[in-house]
Chain A
C-alpha cells in the first residue's frame, strides 16, 4: 500500500473518534447543545481530508502516520473544547483553517527547506525577538506573572510558539557546522568530556539566553522547553552525554539560584517552584489551579466521568472550577472525563508522534535535516511533557499549551508549521533515490 493510502486509512480512526466524541457531548448536554456539534465534526473531518489530498499531491513520499496522529490529537482537543464551550470550539475550528493555510504555504514555499540554513542568523534573531516580544510596551501582555502573549488590537498570539521553531532551525544549522570541532577539540577533565573553550562561547550564550528568558518572560516552562530542545540538538550533533549533563546542571543551578539574587526579578520562577512543592500552602490562590487539576484527575479515576459528565462549573455560577481549563489545564479535564486510560491514550499519541519524528531524523540523509527533524521533534515532545508534567505535578506548572489539544490559535498554527517541516524532511528522505545523472532507481 502506498504511503498516502496508509495515511488515508489512518484518518479513519480519527473520523470514528471525532464522531463518537461529538455524539457523546451531544447526548450528554442535549438540553443546551444544538446539532452544531455534528456540523462541526464534519467540518473538521473535511479539513483533514483536504489536508490529506494536499499532502498526497505535494509530498507523496512523506511519513504517512504523522498527519493522522496530529489529526487525532486535534480531534480530541476539539471535542474537549467543544464540551467546555461551543463558541470556543468554533473559533478553534477556524484556527485550523488558518493553520492549514500556513501548513500548505510552508510546504509550497519551503520545498527546498535547506535555504533556511542561509538565513540562520536572521532566523535566530527573529526567534529571540519573538521571545521578548511579550515584554514590549503596548503590545505585551502578562498572565499569572509570566509574559507569553502579545496583543495587537483584537488579535493576540503567543510568539514563543513560533520562536521555538526559529531557534531549532538556527541550532540545527549552527551545530551542523560546528559539530566536528566540538567533538574533535573536546578534552577530558575530571572524568567529564568538555568542549573546547573557544567553542563553549556560543553554548554559554544559549544558556545565558535561557536564563535571561527566565527573567524576561518569567516562564520556567518555556525556558525549559527551549533549553531542552537545545540540549537535544547538541546531543544529537555531538553524541556527548556529558554536554547534556553539564547543560542540565547549569540550567537547574540557574533556576535555583536566580530567584535568590537581589535585584533580579525572578520571584515568579521561585514562586512557581514553591507552589509545586506545596500547593496546599495557599489553596485558594496560588495553589488553586494545580490543586483543582489534581482533584479533577482524582474525580476521573480509571475510566473517567464520561465526556460531558464531569463538573465543569461551580454550581450556581458561571465560574469554571479548573482555571485555564481550555488551555493549560485541558489535560486535567481529559483525565477527569476519560480517566487514566484517556490520559494514557493522549500521552501514547505524543509518544507515537515523537517516534515518527525521530524516525524521520534517522532516515534523513544530511546533517542539517537530521538535526532539524530531531530538534523539532524534541521540542514538540518537551512541550507536551512540560504542560502535562505541570498539570500532573511532575514539574512546576507553567503556561505552555498542550500541542494540538489546547485551545489557542498560535499553538495550532505554529505546530502545523512544525509538522509541515517534518513532512518536508520526511518527503525528501523517503523519496526514491536517483542514480547520479540517471533515471529513478
Chain B
C-alpha cells in the first residue's frame, strides 16, 4: 500500500501548489487590478485613516482640515471646511461616500502624502502612521471674500464668476463662482445639489466649467492677432460704420457708433463691432484660430484642477463641439458668432488672455500651489512658474497694453478707476447679447497697474437682465484688484 500513499502525497502537493499559485495571483500578479476595482473600498478606507493635510489660503486662513473621529482601529478622519461656502468651488470636497472634487482631488497625492513602496516599508518598521502634507494655495482669502460678496450682491443675474491671476507666475489669486456651496453640507445635501436646475447650480464651477459668449472682451484676442501677425498696427484704419453686412447679416455697433475710417486704437477704445469684424475677416479664420490656440483656446487649461471640472474655450457648433473652421469669423472676433460657431469662453480663459498680455505676451500656466509643507514641517515644494508659450511679441503686448489703457481712460471703461484714478490700468468691457429682450452676459477683463502689471482679472455675470460690462462686472473687478494690489 506504500506506493499509493506516496502518490497520494504527490496529489496533495499538487493541490497545495494550486493554492500557492492562486495566492500569488491575487496578492501579487493581479493586485493592482484588484485595487483599482470600484467594488474595492479598501484604498478609500485606508485614505480615510490618513490625517489628510491642511489647506490654507495664501494669507494664512485655514480652509480645509481633517478632524479625527472614533478611536483605535475604528479611528478615521473627516474633512472640515472652516470657511464654508467661500472656497466651496475651487477647493471642492473630500468625503468617503461622496467622492472628491476640486483641489481636494487634483492635489490628493500631496494631501495624503506621496508614498512609495520603500517609504511604506520604512514606516511599517518604525511604526509611524501615514500623514499627508499641508498645502498653501495661491488664493487670497481677502480677495476671495470681497469678490464673493460683490458677485452675490449683483442683482438680476443667475450668478457670476471671477478669476484673478498673477501675470508673472500664473498664480490664481481668486476664483469665485456664485452661487456657491458649503462643502460641509455635502454629506447631507449632495443629492439635492445635484438636482438643482442649471441656472441655480451650486456645484458647477462657473469660472472653469461654464462657457459664456465673451462679447467685446474677445476683441483683445482679435487685436493681438491683428498686431502680432504684422497685418495691422494700432494706427491702421478700417471701416467702422454701423450696420455693415458681416457674413451677409447686418452687424450693429453699440449705441449706433459709426466711423469710417477708424484706427484700431480708437476702435478698441469705443468697442466698435464692425471695425473688429472687418479686421478678423481680413486676417481670416486660420490666423484667428492660430492666435486663439496660442492663448489657450481649444484645449483644457493647464491648471492643476480636475479635467472633469474644466472645459475648453472656443467657437462651438450647435452640437457643442469646438470648431476650427466654417464659423462666422467676424462675429467670433467680437465674442458672439452664429449657429455654426457660437463663441464660448470660460472666465479662467479670459483671465488668462489678460494675464498673457500683461506678462509681455508670455502665457503662464495657471496654478493653485503656493507651498507644500511635509508632515515634518519642511517645505517640500514651492510655486514654480511654468511658461506655456510666448503668445505674442513683447512689442505687440506693449502696444495692446496701451490700447487697453485707453479703454479705461477715455473709452467704454472710463467710468472705472483704481485707487481714485491714481493707478492707470488696462481693461476691456464686454456685453454679449443673449436675447433681444435685454438679457446680457456682461464682462470685464483688466490688468493693473498698466506700467507694471501685478494682477489680471476677468469677471462676468450670468444671464444678467439689462446689464452692461462696464457698469456691473467692471466695479467688481476693480474692487478686487484694489484689494489684491493694496497688500503689495
Task: State the A residues within 8 Å of B (CB).
Answer: 27-29, 31-32, 232, 235-237, 239, 280, 283, 291, 294-303, 305-306, 309, 311-318, 321, 335, 339-340, 343-344, 347, 350-351, 354-355, 358, 361-362, 367, 370-371, 374, 378, 381, 385, 388-389, 392-394
Contact = CB atoms under 8 A, between A and B. Distances in A.
B5 A298 contact: no
A397 to B, nearest CB: 12
Interface in B1-29: 1-9, 12-13, 15-16, 18-20, 22-28
B5 A370 contact: yes
A297 B39 contact: no
B203 to A, nearest CB: 25
A309 B45 contact: no
22 contacts: A27-B127, A32-B71, A235-B8, A280-B39, A283-B39, A302-B28, A305-B124, A311-B45, A311-B49, A314-B41, A314-B45, A315-B48, A315-B74, A316-B76, A318-B74, A343-B23, A358-B9, A358-B12, A362-B2, A381-B15, A389-B18, A393-B26
Interface of B: 1-9, 12-13, 15-16, 18-20, 22-28, 30-32, 34-35, 37, 39-42, 45-46, 48-49, 69-76, 96, 121, 124, 127
Contacts of A355: 9
B19 A315 contact: no
A148 B206 CA distance: 61
Contacts of A335: 23, 26-27
A193 B196 CA distance: 76
A315 B96 contact: yes
Contacts of B121: 303
A315 B3 contact: no
B23 to A, nearest CB: 5
Nearest to A331: B23
Contacts of B12: 351, 354, 358, 378, 381, 385
A362 B6 contact: yes
A165 B418 CA distance: 94
A298 B31 contact: yes
B74 to A, nearest CB: 5
A389 to B, nearest CB: 6
A300 B27 contact: yes
Given A298-B31, A316-B69, A367 B1 contact: yes
A388 B21 CA distance: 12
Given A358-B5, A388-B19, A316 B26 contact: no
Contact of B4 (A235, A296, A317, A388): A235
Contacts of A29: 72-73
A315 B70 contact: yes
A351 B6 contact: no
Contact of A392 (B2, B7, B26): B26
Contacts of A362: 2, 5-6
A388 to B, nearest CB: 5
Provide the main secondary structure of the chain A interface: helix
Tell me which of B9, B18, B40, B75 has the highest count of chain A C-beta atoms within 10 A of its own C-beta: B9
A404 to B, nearest CB: 16
A312 B74 CA distance: 9
A435 B20 CA distance: 47
Given A381-B15, A385-B12, 17 more contacts: A28-B127, A31-B72, A32-B72, A236-B4, A236-B5, A237-B1, A239-B4, A291-B39, A296-B42, A302-B28, A315-B70, A315-B76, A340-B28, A367-B1, A371-B1, A389-B19, A392-B26
A381 B18 CA distance: 13
Contacts of B127: 27-28
A351 B49 contact: no
A392 B23 contact: yes
A313 B72 CA distance: 10
Contacts of B8: 232, 235-236, 358, 374, 378
B22 to A, nearest CB: 4
A297 B16 contact: no
B68 to A, nearest CB: 10
A239 B8 CA distance: 10
B226 to A, nearest CB: 59
**Would you list the 8 A-B pairs with minimal beta carbon distance, nearest first?**
A315-B76, A298-B34, A392-B22, A297-B26, A298-B31, A283-B39, A297-B27, A32-B72
Contacts of B16: 347, 350-351, 381, 385
B34 A294 contact: yes
Tell me which of B30, B32, B40 has the highest count of chain A C-beta atoms within 10 A of its own C-beta: B40
Contacts of B70: 315-316
A354 B9 contact: yes
Contacts of B42: 295-296, 299, 311, 321
Nearest to A389: B19
A223 to B, nearest CB: 17
A299 B40 CA distance: 10
B233 to A, nearest CB: 66
A392 B74 contact: no
A309 B41 CA distance: 17
A130 to B, nearest CB: 25
B2 A298 contact: no
Nearest to B15: A385
B71 to A, nearest CB: 8
B76 A298 contact: no
B46 A374 contact: no
A335 B34 CA distance: 15
B27 A339 contact: yes
Given A298-B30, A303-B121, A335-B23, A311 B46 contact: yes
Nearest to B30: A298
Contacts of A340: 23-24, 27-28
Contacts of A370: 1, 5
Nearest to A341: B27
A305 B49 CA distance: 15
A291 B39 CA distance: 8
B74 A313 contact: yes
A237 B4 CA distance: 8
Nearest to A300: B27
Given A295-B35, A378-B8, A344 B23 contact: yes
Nearest to B73: A313
Tell me which of A309, A354, A392 has the highest count of chain B C-beta atoms within 10 A of its own C-beta: A392
A351 B20 CA distance: 12
A51 B69 CA distance: 46
A164 B69 CA distance: 48
A353 to B, nearest CB: 10
A344 B72 contact: no
A316 B5 contact: no
A244 B349 CA distance: 75
Contacts of A236: 1, 4-5, 8
A301 B42 CA distance: 14
A366 to B, nearest CB: 10
A306 B5 contact: no
Contacts of B69: 316
A238 to B, nearest CB: 8
A316 B28 CA distance: 29
Contacts of A312: 73
Nearest to A280: B39
A86 to B, nearest CB: 12
A434 B45 CA distance: 67
Contacts of A314: 41, 45
B19 A394 contact: yes
A289 to B, nearest CB: 12
Contacts of A31: 72
A295 B46 CA distance: 13
A305 B31 CA distance: 14
Contacts of B73: 29, 32, 312-313
Nearest to B49: A315
Contacts of B7: 235
Contacts of B15: 381, 385, 389
B43 to A, nearest CB: 8
B74 A298 contact: no
Contacts of A378: 8, 12
A315 B1 contact: no
